[in-house]
Amino acid sequence: AAGVPVKERVKVSRNWRHGRCRRETLLKWKRKQVAPFSSTFLMPWMELDGEYLYLSQAENIEAYRLCPDSTGLQRHPQAIFSGHQEDVCRFVLVNSHVVSGGGDGNIVLHKIRGSYSVKFSAHEQEVNCVDFQGGLIVSGSRDRTAKVWSLSAGRVGQCLHTVQTEDRVWSIAISPLLSSFVTGTACCGHTSPLRIWDFESGHLLTCLGTDFHRGAGVLDVFYETPSLLLSCGYDTYIRYWDIRTSTRKCVQEWEEPHDSALYCIRSDGNHMIASGSSYYGVVRLWDKRQTRCLQSFHLSSPTSSPVYCLRFSTTHLYAALASALHVLDFTA
């Protein structure tokens, strides 16, 4: 969305501000059976491109074509990407490739058009997060490490660096400059949950912020530019960091008004931020120029569910919950 023309971004912001929106449920999925007489909800993740929405459901990633009249998705997936023995935790879509990390500790790379795929053992426990840029993969795990992997010819799946984070890694993102990456951790084994690491050496470059409470884990991070990034997590705050100005204090912060953990965030690269809360499927829209939430949408009722992931285009916002995929249509 950061590449959306200015006129389009202004149009979306104006629609959001005036509340012109239609809500729909696009897809529903059943609970996954995990043991006799017990079951659990799925924890989906998704990515969006111009024609398709990619959605993880259990061990697979499914590609759904967006309907040309903007009415939703085609009901049956156009492609299914598999390879994990346990649930997909996170995946990214970059340069016609899908890179996923799973509960089985593996990373799987698929080429979207073609049969090419690579799978390799990455971590001793779940791969909670991955990112992929410039021929390099970064991954973070419950095993308290972050790793850098090569995808260059002859070195595919070779680990270049192992970073000991002293904490479970929940989120990870590569800087647009491709020189460093940021990890968001559980904030239980280290005083700072946000740390930036050098790609070349694997060494720590800086920590972001001070005085985090124990357990203030960072569940999502998002780079807007090489120097601007957003973070959110268990302590209910969205924080906006400008590493040119300060690494000790964020330049802006917004508190979730109902004291809910924030599972995910996205920005349009301009003034608007969308966040997903941990209870009752609450999606909130924020304007960076204001201190309070601009608008809220409650997507799960009566069953409470986190918003595990959200993505938006110039006209629609998609939110993945434990049992369904919802869309907010801002052209309504």
- HEC profile of 176-234: CCCCEEEEEECCCCCCCCEEEEECCCCCEEEECCCCCCCCCCEEEEEECCCCEEEEEEC
Q: Which DSSP letter does residue 146 get?
A: E
Give, for 13, the enclosing helix (H) or strand (E).
Answer: helix 6-17
146-205 per-position pLDDT tens digit:
999 998 878 888 999 999 999 999 999 999 999 999 999 999 987 789 999 999 999 999
Which of 5-14, 71-80, 121-130, 237-246 comes out lowest in average pLDDT? 5-14
158-169 per-position pLDDT tens digit:
999 999 999 999
Q: Tell me whether strands 228-233 and 218-223 are parallel, antiparallel or unpaired.
A: antiparallel
CA distance 331 to 70: 9
| CB distance 202 to 161 below 8 Å | yes
Q: Is the pTM of this model over 0.85?
A: yes
